[in-house]
Structure 1
Amino acid sequence: MTRLMRTAAAAALALCAAFAAPGTALASPPAPSPAASATAASERAQLPRPTGPYGIGRTTLHLTDDSRKDPWVPQAGGRAVMVDVFYPAVRGTGSPAPYATTGEIRVLLAARKLEGVPPEAMAGTRTDVRTGARPDGGRHPLVVLSPGFGVPRYTLTSLAEDLTSRGYVVASVDHAYEAYGVAFPGRGVLTCVACETAKTPEDFHNVVTGRAKDVSFVLDRLTGPRAARPFARMIDKRRIGMAGHSIGGAGAAATMAADGRVRAGVNMDGAFQGAIPAEGLGGRPFMMLGTNDEWHRPGGKDTSWDEAWPRLGGGKRWLTVDRADHFTFTDSPVFAEQIFPPTVPRPALSAARSVAVTRAYTAAFFDRHLRHLPQPLLDGPSPANPEVHFNNPTGNPAGNPTSNPAGNPLNTP
């Protein structure tokens, strides 16, 4: 059983224990006491500041593809997605945006058995995102982000912020009934029906191919003839990339296999679930960014990475990160250090380094392949990032700074 399937099974058991009616919208629990609210306000988390020059605007779209029924709850109607669109904005315009709603966070924490964490502390996480911000002029590349199985889109906010600050439009997508704690208009705060339903490799393959259809639909709505304004004017539809965490990373590969508009992709620590066909991705660049452990080093337990590697081309990269865990590539390390109790397991790699590494290498990959800018960071190990190993199973198998000295390009296009 893959790490994804084990994690999904454990989460489903936790949710079944917490809720008597899984798969339905969840009512909001009673409001916290004033004392609890005051404590939460003083203990709010804060994401690291983004590194680029742009301000960050955000708007949220609720989109429904009426040509497809929801695969998990067919009676709900058309396939629905929630999309946070982050866009380069004029600094100082707009109003501070919430990380998520307290109701959404409360459901997520309950599903993860973290009821002792004040939901206000996580919902009120300080970010650099603003609603109603005035868009910056010009046309920008688009990066789509897809979260892991059972995990909401807002847990990729740190990466979304940073890419946007560097001049990307970012569309972060939630897929209905595939995460704990996501509010959908008219449906309430949804739980993860898919986490209870998907059990077999075929089920998980269907998840990633379903996400590919969702993303193609989102691209139609952001860049097509009926594109939501003002994004039709802001997005350069010739420069589209996609990154995802866990099953979202497999979704990035599946989307590229099905939709030629996506020119580059990143899988952050996800099993591929059969997403990459034998013929590959048409030579388009793809990066695998994962844990440097028994899972995602060459020859690791997740055999899908070894199977995918020879099918990839066009500037592929296989990077692994020391002391990382599965959620290193999300906002989770920030919460683990700042507001989660010490009993919650956390990776050895600090939150600051987790965020910095994820941001730097993801941005470098898209800068090289969507903007065609030189990126020495991708050419080999860097003294500034000693945690990051470059793996090349057809060449130097060790993939470490000793066997692959800095400045020795690996698999450069």
Structure 2
Amino acid sequence: MRHLLAVTAGLALLATPACSAPTPPRTAASPTTAGPATLPATLPAPTGPHPVGTTVLYLKDTSRPDPWNPDAQARELKVTLWYPAGQRDGPRAAYMTPEESELLMRGTGIAGAPYDTLSRTRTNAIKDAEPVGEALPLVMLSPGFTKPMSTLTSLAEDLASRGYIVAGIDHPYESYATTLPGGRIAGCLACDSNSDPGFGAGLVQGRAADVSFVLDQLPATWDGSGRIDRSRIAMAGQSIGGSSALAAMLQDPRVRAGIDMDGTAYARIPKGGLSRPFMFLGSAQHVSGGPAPTWDRDWKLLTGWKRWIVLSGAEHQSFTDTPLLSDALDITPTAGVLPAARAAELTRTYVAAFLDQHLKSRPQPLLDQPSPRYPEARFCPAACAPS
């Protein structure tokens, strides 16, 4: 099995497109000498009333081969669930393993901190806690290209604390490191094809198939699946994961609503349009008439409830945990970029408002007009037209 480590910079704090060409990593020191020891990062506490539990499932789709690994005759998936829990105390789940942390940091060329740094990140969810609640809405989450699902943990924990069940999918061979059963590590084989014509479109179609398979399998694979209201399902994702949310909605009518967080749109909406609720939440690269024109194209084809919100000062990674980890990784944030805590607050707030309105039928005035509490949020396309 091949493992590609020199791939697209995934934890860099500079804005990058949804899929970018592989670049060689900077020279890195060994794990025992890579920079001084630092205090572990701690993810911000969830804002909802419920304690959060988490568990991991491993699923195998024997109906299709893996699209990236020719030696795998079945598509394997790692699914992390976050959910309201009945206990506040217990062992917290690991953010990632030391080996995953090392592969991720080596792949991105981060050498200013020990290679186990990300494995020491402190989360809030209690490992394998008993789920509580009934008829809870389900949110599917998909990370950016080369990113593990763990990079959206802060958002997932917050949604679970607000009364959602969240299913985050690690798409093997599309990230630096995904641990599969038996301790096998799936590296980024998809990075070999990153520059191929049609790569993005093919990748999001594969992720849409992953989402449909997980929705099919959840009732049989998780004891808490009876707590899911399967009539209330949405999907969100960052970068290529956001584009995959749109692809999943086009392929699977069970996904009632979707959010694309700063992802170039690769799935093409048919001329008849898409009538289910959808929200673009992104950085300035997606402003109307800007350098990433796919949102402008798709905005016209969204025929139902829709919003297009740009966060001033945000960059591509502002919608992930990455900025929250910068101190621990000894990375200096770019001047003028939205501070990490504020970026996390804005992302959590607008994602939750969208889901509360469309999965819980709770009207959200925050989504109707700009708020003085969140002046960074600009409503597009009119307010974002280039000057």
TM over 0.5: yes
Counterpart among 279, 285, 288 of residue 287 in structure 1: 279
Task: Provide the secondary structure at the position in 1 that maps to 2:248.
Answer: helix
- The answer on 1:228 being equivalent to 2:240 is no
Counterpart among 175, 178, 203 of residue 174 in structure 2: 178
1:286 partner amino acid: F
Partner of 2:165: 169
Partner of 1:112: 108
Native 8 Å contact 1:4 1:271 kept in 2: yes
- The answer on 1:56 being equivalent to 2:48 is no
Please, what is the CA RMSD of the aligned residues?
2.3
**Distance of aligned partners of 1:43 and 1:221 in 2 relative to their CA distance in 1, 3 Å threshold:** same
2:17 partner amino acid: L
Counterpart among 378, 383, 386 of residue 398 in structure 1: 383
Partner of 1:308: 298
Matches within 5 A, 1:182-193: 182-186=178-182, 188-193=184-189
Q: Report the Cα offset of residue 339 of structure 1.
A: 1.4
Q: Report the Cα offset of residue 127 of structure 1.
A: 1.4
Task: Provide the secondary structure at the position in 2 that maps to 1:262.
Answer: coil
Q: Report the Cα offset of residue 192 of structure 1.
A: 1.0
Matches within 5 A, 1:2-401: 4=17, 8-9=20-21, 12-14=22-24, 32=32, 40=37, 43-186=39-182, 188-223=184-219, 227-281=220-274, 283-291=275-283, 293=284, 295-336=285-326, 338-343=327-332, 345=334, 348-392=337-381, 397-399=382-384
Taking structure 2 as the reference length, the TM-score comes to 0.90
**Distance of aligned partners of 1:204 and 1:284 in 2 relative to their CA distance in 1, 3 Å threshold:** same
**Distance of aligned partners of 1:187 and 1:127 in 2 relative to their CA distance in 1, 3 Å threshold:** closer
Q: What is the alpha-carbon distance in structure 1 between the residues aligned to residue 331 and residue 182 of structure 2?
A: 37
**Distance of aligned partners of 1:151 and 1:369 in 2 relative to their CA distance in 1, 3 Å threshold:** same
Q: Report the Cα offset of residue 3 of structure 1.
A: 5.2
Partner of 2:8: none
1:121-143 Cα offsets, whole Å, 9 max, x none, are 32111111111212113221000
Q: What is the alpha-carbon distance in structure 2 between the residues aligned to residue 286 and residue 67 of structure 1?
A: 30
Q: What is the alpha-carbon distance in structure 2 between the residues aligned to residue 349 and residue 263 of structure 1?
A: 31
Task: Provide the secondary structure at the position in 1 that maps to 2:317.
Answer: coil
Q: Report the Cα offset of residue 232 of structure 1.
A: 2.3
Q: What is the alpha-carbon distance in structure 1 between the residues aligned to residue 248 and residue 254 of structure 2?
A: 9
Taking structure 1 as the reference length, the TM-score comes to 0.85
Q: Report the Cα offset of residue 370 of structure 1.
A: 0.5
Q: What is the alpha-carbon distance in structure 1 between the residues aligned to residue 205 and residue 338 of structure 2?
A: 32
Native 8 Å contact 1:250 1:275 kept in 2: no
**Distance of aligned partners of 1:331 and 1:91 in 2 relative to their CA distance in 1, 3 Å threshold:** same
Q: Report the Cα offset of residue 181 of structure 1.
A: 2.0
Q: What is the alpha-carbon distance in structure 2 between the residues aligned to residue 31 and residue 150 of structure 1?
A: 21
Q: Report the Cα offset of residue 95 of structure 1.
A: 2.0
1:398 partner amino acid: A
Q: What is the alpha-carbon distance in structure 2 between the residues aligned to residue 191 and residue 346 of structure 1?
A: 33
Q: Note the residue ranges of structure 2 that are not aligned, 5 or more in a row.
A: 1-14
2:300 partner amino acid: P
**Distance of aligned partners of 1:235 and 1:264 in 2 relative to their CA distance in 1, 3 Å threshold:** same
Q: Report the Cα offset of residue 230 of structure 1.
A: 2.0
Task: Provide the secondary structure at the position in 2 that maps to 1:8.
Answer: coil
**Distance of aligned partners of 1:201 and 1:53 in 2 relative to their CA distance in 1, 3 Å threshold:** farther
More off after superposition, 354-363 vs 69-78: 69-78
Task: Provide the secondary structure at the position in 1 that maps to 2:23.
Answer: helix
2:20 partner amino acid: A
Native 8 Å contact 1:139 1:234 kept in 2: yes
1:153 partner amino acid: M
Task: Provide the secondary structure at the position in 1 that maps to 2:361.
Answer: coil
1:273-316 Cα offsets, whole Å, 9 max, x none, are 134333232x100000010x2x2111111111011001113220
Q: Note the residue ranges of structure 1 that are not aligned, 5 or more in a row.
A: 20-28, 401-413
**Distance of aligned partners of 1:14 and 1:30 in 2 relative to their CA distance in 1, 3 Å threshold:** closer
Task: Provide the secondary structure at the position in 2 that maps to 1:238.
Answer: strand
The structure with higher relative contact order (CA 8 Å, sep 6+) is 2
Task: Provide the secondary structure at the position in 2 that maps to 1:178.
Answer: coil
Task: Provide the secondary structure at the position in 1 that maps to 2:71.
Answer: helix
Q: What is the alpha-carbon distance in structure 1 between the residues aligned to residue 335 and residue 229 of structure 2?
A: 39
**Distance of aligned partners of 1:150 and 1:347 in 2 relative to their CA distance in 1, 3 Å threshold:** farther
1:150-190 Cα offsets, whole Å, 9 max, x none, are 11100000000000000000001011100012211246222
Task: Provide the secondary structure at the position in 2 that maps to 1:128.
Answer: strand
Native 8 Å contact 2:205 2:267 kept in 1: no
2:158 partner amino acid: D
